[in-house]
Amino acid sequence: MSEYRGYTGASLTFLKESKVKIGDSVKITEDLTYTGIIMPRYENTDDNHIAIKLKSGYNIGIEIKKIKKIELISSEKIEKKSTSEVKSDSTLPKILLLSTGGTIASKIDYRTGAVTPALSAEDLSAAVPELAEIANIDASVLFSEYSENLEPEHWKKIAEKLDSYAKSDYKGIVVAHGTDTMQYSAAFLSFALAGYPVPIVLVGSQRSSDRPSSDAALNLISAVRFVVESNTQGVFVVMHHNESDDLAVAHLGTRVRKNHTSKRSAFQTIGNDPAFLIFDKKIEQNLKTDFFKQREYNPKLNFDKHVALVKYHPGYNPKIIDFLIKSGYKAIIFEGTGLGHVGKTMYEYVKKANENGLFMGMTSQCIDGRVGMNVYESGRDLLELGIIPLSDMIPETALVKAMWALGNSTNAEEMKNLMIQNIASEFSD
């Protein structure tokens, strides 16, 4: 039944009577004429439409009642080209390409025309021949997951894998990663692998490689070029910078945030400029900071998930704090209003959390600027209740850092010291 996967009722009957199936190339005439590949349907969809993938890479649904004519163009399977071994060049540096999944590691299913997260790291490197001119690439698949499915346990697996290559002869390491939670993984790796001797770059794509507007190739080429030519260390996210087709940037792993759902330039450095510009085969440092100075490598790979990110809002139920205490949480990162405030209804429960030994850190809901809890009386009250201001640390970064600090400390004071220490430029200059 895979030839008609997802089709039921009227749409299934239509396909069978028209003698076409999933994966066939067809020409459909209604008010307009469309040419494309018949796609499978998702579960729980109606039986009144068929889906096709256009040559542009976009999928559309067509109501079967409006179809005047459907013509089979070809039912031949599109064979996947075999991946030939890339010849190494002894004059080029060597890098590792580690695949964890996501859109950048997606491909066309050559039987159905669907985009699936099944592309191996070897295929990914072979699909972009320009890479062979920059470096010799060793490819490895750690796992294949959309990033919304990644948990802190996955972060640790990535960190452990990278740590095992800390003394290798790789010039740098590129991690192919889904974009939805890439900033969280980048933050954890920044703390867990602080001082790593070569650059680590997380790279993804907003649009899959079957679309003409895909950013996959540019992002991957830019990431590889960056780890080869930047002569720096640290964890970065490399992505498109604007709507041009030739400019990518490297963001610090603790200062980056995904700020748009679908733009190629979705990722932005918060509170400062991107660390590096990557364009026209050039790498240009764009941020003045001591972050790029060589540091001693001291891996700390543990974590503890008992941390909550609380976004305060008018009407917030303060009893949720009580629930967190009773549920065994050990730290709370508040995403407060303005300079770092929460309403008075929270005070009793904040005090209780402090008495129970929970670490409490304050960040701001504002995209830019710093927490300043000494400015207003409400902020000073919260300081007295035990909340620690976290300057301009991004709330998501603070959450990850708290998990990491909690997992790598033996007591509350040690954790607090880790949280206020600038380890990987999580506090901007």
Contact 28, 14 (CB under 8 A): no
Rounded CA gap, 321 and 6, in Å? 44
CA distances to 330, 351, 415 from 411, rounded to whole Å, are 11, 19, 6
Residue 181 annotated among the catalytic residues of the structure: no
Rounded CA gap, 371 and 386, in Å? 15
Query: What are the structure tokens assigned to 139, written together?
Result: 């490819």
Contact 20, 50 (CB under 8 A): no
Candidates 123, 163, 180, 381; catalytic one: 180
Residue 124 sits at the vertex; the CA angle it makes with 22 and 176, to the nearest 5 degrees, is 110
Residue 246 annotated among the catalytic residues of the structure: no
Q: Which residues pair with 331 in a beta bridge?
A: 307, 359
Residue 345 annotated among the catalytic residues of the structure: no
Candidates 258, 330, 397, 401; catalytic one: 258
Nearest to 203 by CA among 213, 188, 216, 212: 216
- Across the beta sheet with 331-336, the strand order is 307-311, 331-336, 359-364, 388-389
Residue with tokens 């990535």: 158
Q: By three-state DSSP, how is residue 42 classified?
A: coil
Q: Which residues pair with 115 in a beta bridge?
A: 108
Residue 163 annotated among the catalytic residues of the structure: no
What lies within 8 Å, CB to CB, of 279 at 6+ separation is 246, 247, 248
Candidates 103, 181, 363, 397; catalytic one: 103
- Rounded to the nearest 10 degrees, how much is the dihedral formed by the CA atoms of 266, 162, 273, 125? -50
Candidates 21, 24, 100, 179; catalytic one: 179
Rounded CA gap, 179 and 104, in Å? 9
Rounded CA gap, 2 and 67, in Å? 23
Where would I find the beta strands (DSSP E) of 177-306?
199-203, 234-240, 247-252, 256-258, 267-269, 276-279, 282-285
CA distances to 28, 33, 67, 188 from 270, rounded to whole Å, are 47, 46, 49, 17
Residue 1 one-letter amino acid: M
Query: What are the structure tokens assigned to 355, written together?
Result: 């008495």
Beta strands 49-54; 247-252: pairing state: unpaired
Catalytic residue ranges: 103, 179-180, 258
